[in-house]
Chains A and B, each alone.
Chain A
Amino acid sequence: MRLDTVDQQLINHYQRNLPVCERPYREMADTLGISEDEVISRLAVLQQQQVLSRVGPVFEHSQAGASLLAAVAAPVEQIDLVAARINSAPGVNHNYAREHLYNLWFVMTAPDEDTLDERLDELEHQLKLPILRLPMVEGYHIDLGFDIDWDALP
């Protein structure tokens, strides 16, 4: 997706943090040298095009309960079925197929640690496959985005 320079700057400046003040969009406008209305309409268009997945708060998962990254090695011929079962299990909010013996990677969440374990035990029982449980032990860089190399994009 080709974006103009102003959209690129909007993302460069505000993909990590935007000002949480009385008039956030006006402050962004002043920084970028455009009007507040233009900031608002550009953000709305980018959101509508799904270039921005959201303009707003990113909540700390650990404070809303427990979560962990989990993986299973699904037999290739059953991968769709296994993936569907994982997706319909309570608390699953991400599920990626990856090219590896462990070919399904998902995030399981729950209100607390005990419920999380129960949900994983239940899913394990349902899938009849062992679940690799990979909770975060230490976070070094937690979902803060990365520098976008606009020239390298198609």
Chain B
Amino acid sequence: MSTSTLKSEQARFTDQDRELILATQEGLPLVSDPWGELGRQLGMPADEVLSRFQHMQETGVIRRVAAVPDHYKLGYRYNGMTVWDVSDDAISTMGQQVGDLPFVSHCYRRPRHLPYWSFNLFAMVHGTSREEVEHKAAQIRELLGDTCSGHTILYSSAILKKTGLRLRKQADKP
């Protein structure tokens, strides 16, 4: 999967979809018939729940459905945000290649803000030690070659807040 924002009206969801998002944003019911269970909660037939869910996947409202691990809990205690100053003409190609590395969990292009911030490529790397993060960053450095004129690694020292995207019933509605 390559890019980015499918920002469009067509992908906006209906009120029923919204109900379904509210009912599943903490997770799917862990029962043999999760759609039937959701259907009972929402007053909707099970097959409608499933087809709405599949439709939201197709339109990109749902990015994926997965068993999402907490990497920190698994033992990846070092989370390095590696940031790179990559030449503008190379960034799309190189960004894709860096994003394809098996150990990179997120990879984005973001704007520079000169003179304060010169890094335009962000790649998130996780490790059980700093050495592991540095070893992985060295592989990215090698891949970028001449297209890169500087980089640094920002290690996280504390998670001060972490909540996924949450819809709220009223408050956040425009």
Residues of A within 8 A of B (CB): 1, 10-11, 14-18, 20-26, 36-37, 40, 43-44, 46-47, 49-65, 69, 83, 86-87, 92-100, 102, 104-106, 109, 111-112, 115, 132-148, 152-154
8 A-B pairs, CB-CB below 8 angstroms?
A11-B69, A59-B21, A60-B61, A97-B158, A138-B92, A140-B109, A141-B104, A153-B128
- List the interface of chain B (C-beta within 8 A of A): 1-7, 11-13, 21, 24-28, 30-35, 50, 53-54, 56-57, 60-70, 73-76, 79, 81, 91-92, 95-96, 98-100, 102-111, 113, 116-117, 120, 122, 126, 128, 132, 152, 154-167, 172-174
B28 touches A40 (CB 8 A): no
DSSP majority for the B interface? mixed
In the assembly, what is the distance between CA of A15 and CA of B172, in Å? 29
Complex interface: chain B residues within 8 A of A133 (CB): 111, 113
A59–B13 CA distance with the chains assembled, in angstroms: 12
CB of B57, distance to nearest CB on chain A (Å): 6
- Whether B163 pairs with A94 at a CB distance below 8 angstroms is yes
